[in-house]
A and B are shown apart, each in its own frame.
Chain A
């Protein structure tokens, strides 16, 4: 049953991510992106990673996407005031897209050789086990990444503050 559910959800993920690109209205794009993130949450649940699933749900769907939507609504973009794109940008876009395709094809070829990773402990994604892993063997990288996030936050606050002369 797990595999068939996976294929259905994976097809939905791809469909909605395509809709993100193809929809003309930026607000519709963000809404499709929210649905895409929801399908990712389902993927995490299928992998028995409950904590990751619910954190993806809260952080991406509940917080980051609300901010995206907030900014788009504040700008209130629509077709009339959107600047027309020059040909140069289109050419650059095509080149960048081709580079991405080459990279993706190359990495997909490499996966054919590698063996799928099988977890020793299938319950690794549960909160208790994940916490023990993060605060045990992976203590240093975990704390370092939290400092990285804090730095970004301090930087953002600093940028918004006007200098007092």
Chain B
């Protein structure tokens, strides 16, 4: 392990971390603007031109607010909760291939922090850990509404993980590899996996809505029943961490969906662009395309939030166990039969 390798990875990690935070920050702004657009309002427009400094103002506000730790709460775990939520949100970005290998001054730099051969499972593991932040925070608050919310979050997360895992299995049957880099390379040009796995994509997307606690699956923070849910007792930047972690989760799951099903950094006509731009700039253009896909997904997340009302809890469980899981299993069987059929003839 030579020192230049460490420096290269360190810079890449720092850039990705910075970009995730920046995107999460401006997602809060975008969410309010999108909501305003859908409801025929103006949205935030006071801080800076078009309200562009609003996230900064919000950040300052969060830091300056008084911090309250409820009496009889578990102090240490009350602090661990939001930290864990933030940590599990951030580590998912490590295995996502942000672009094809880039050549700078004769040196080839892969635009991916690490290419482990169980990449998909790693993402899946990080997603399944995500619920701990909510559960620990909700329990440590010593508030019955927070506790109910923590319990809801746990059962929702477990239920939708199963359907998510099953939809990934069907995808693995098509790709034959678990490395995210190889999966992206297979989707060269326009051979995107969504064309081969439309049902699998639909199931995966619904499950990512549920795993990120986004509306219509935001039952853990259902205001009409649970006040604020797991973050009822939180104030100041600890609350900010929970809200922020949700936006980072949204960014990461958009990136995962774009990588697995929408070709990652591939786009039609990329060979032509590679010749035109050369080995330094073409990968960067691919990365820009990838980010465009991610932003489209983030917009979709917001669009759904302001369009579809929240589920009732029994409807949520019904959808997860009696609709999505059988559909995902049927998808695996059909995919298997088609692949066996194609190999025979």
- A binding-site residues for B, Cβ under 8 Å: 27, 31, 34, 50-51, 54-55, 57-58, 61-63, 66-67, 69-70, 73-74, 76, 126-128
Complex: chain B residue closest to A67, CB-CB: B158
With A58-B121, A62-B125, A127-B178 as contacts: A73 and B157 at CB distance below 8 Å: no
Known: A70-B154, A76-B147. 16 other contacts (CB 8 A): A31-B136, A50-B118, A57-B129, A58-B125, A58-B128, A61-B128, A63-B128, A63-B158, A66-B131, A66-B154, A66-B158, A67-B154, A73-B135, A73-B139, A73-B151, A73-B154
With A69-B154, A73-B147, A127-B178 as contacts: A54 and B131 at CB distance below 8 Å: no
Total number of residue pairs linking A and B with CB closer than 8 Å: 61
Name B118's contact: one of A31, A54, A62 (CB within 8 Å): A54
Q: Is B155 engaged at the interface, CB distance under 8 Å to the other chain?
A: yes
* Inter-chain contacts of A58 with B (CB < 8 A): 121, 124-125, 128
Cα A69 to Cα B77 in complex, Å, equals 14
Q: Is B116 engaged at the interface, CB distance under 8 Å to the other chain?
A: yes
Contact with A along B120-135 (1 / 0, CB 8 A): 0110110111011001
Cα A62 to Cα B126 in complex, Å, equals 8
Distance between B143 CB and nearest chain A CB, rounded to angstroms: 12
Distance between A20 CB and nearest chain B CB, rounded to angstroms: 16
Q: Is B221 engaged at the interface, CB distance under 8 Å to the other chain?
A: no
* Inter-chain contacts of B150 with A (CB < 8 A): 73
Cα A62 to Cα B118 in complex, Å, equals 16
Determine whether the beta carbon of A127 is less than 8 Å from that of B117: yes
Chain B CB within 10 A, most for which of A34, A58, A76: A58
Cα A41 to Cα B150 in complex, Å, equals 26
Contact with A along B142-157 (1 / 0, CB 8 A): 0000010011001101
- B binding-site residues for A, Cβ under 8 Å: 77, 116-118, 121-122, 124-125, 127-129, 131-132, 135-136, 139, 147, 150-151, 154-155, 157-158, 161, 178
* Inter-chain contacts of A34 with B (CB < 8 A): 132
Cα A67 to Cα B161 in complex, Å, equals 13
* Inter-chain contacts of B118 with A (CB < 8 A): 50-51, 54, 127
* Inter-chain contacts of B122 with A (CB < 8 A): 54
Distance between A131 CB and nearest chain B CB, rounded to angstroms: 10
Determine whether the beta carbon of A66 is less than 8 Å from that of B157: yes
The A interface, classified by DSSP as helix, strand, loop or mixed, is helix
Cα A58 to Cα B116 in complex, Å, equals 16
Cα A34 to Cα B131 in complex, Å, equals 13
Distance between B118 CB and nearest chain A CB, rounded to angstroms: 5
Determine whether the beta carbon of A57 is less than 8 Å from that of B125: yes
Complex: chain B residue closest to A41, CB-CB: B125
Chain B CB within 10 A, most for which of A34, A66, A67, A74: A66
Cα A51 to Cα B116 in complex, Å, equals 10
Complex: chain A residue closest to B139, CB-CB: A73
Complex: chain B residue closest to A25, CB-CB: B74
Distance between B325 CB and nearest chain A CB, rounded to angstroms: 13
Name A126's contact: one of B77, B117, B155 (CB within 8 Å): B117
Cα A38 to Cα B178 in complex, Å, equals 22
| 22 pairs, CB–CB < 8 Å, chain A vs chain B | A31-B77, A31-B136, A50-B117, A51-B121, A57-B125, A57-B129, A58-B124, A62-B128, A62-B129, A63-B128, A63-B161, A66-B128, A66-B132, A67-B154, A67-B158, A69-B135, A70-B135, A70-B154, A70-B158, A73-B135, A74-B151, A126-B117
Complex: chain A residue closest to B118, CB-CB: A54
Determine whether the beta carbon of B121 is less than 8 Å from that of A54: yes
Complex: chain B residue closest to A57, CB-CB: B125
Determine whether the beta carbon of A66 is less than 8 Å from that of B117: no
Cα A34 to Cα B129 in complex, Å, equals 10
With A73-B147, A73-B150 as contacts: A66 and B135 at CB distance below 8 Å: yes
Distance between B161 CB and nearest chain A CB, rounded to angstroms: 7
Cα A61 to Cα B122 in complex, Å, equals 13
Determine whether the beta carbon of A54 is less than 8 Å from that of B125: yes
Distance between A145 CB and nearest chain B CB, rounded to angstroms: 18
* Inter-chain contacts of A61 with B (CB < 8 A): 125, 128-129
Cα A54 to Cα B121 in complex, Å, equals 7
Distance between A106 CB and nearest chain B CB, rounded to angstroms: 37
Determine whether the beta carbon of A55 is less than 8 Å from that of B121: yes
* Inter-chain contacts of B77 with A (CB < 8 A): 31
Distance between B114 CB and nearest chain A CB, rounded to angstroms: 12
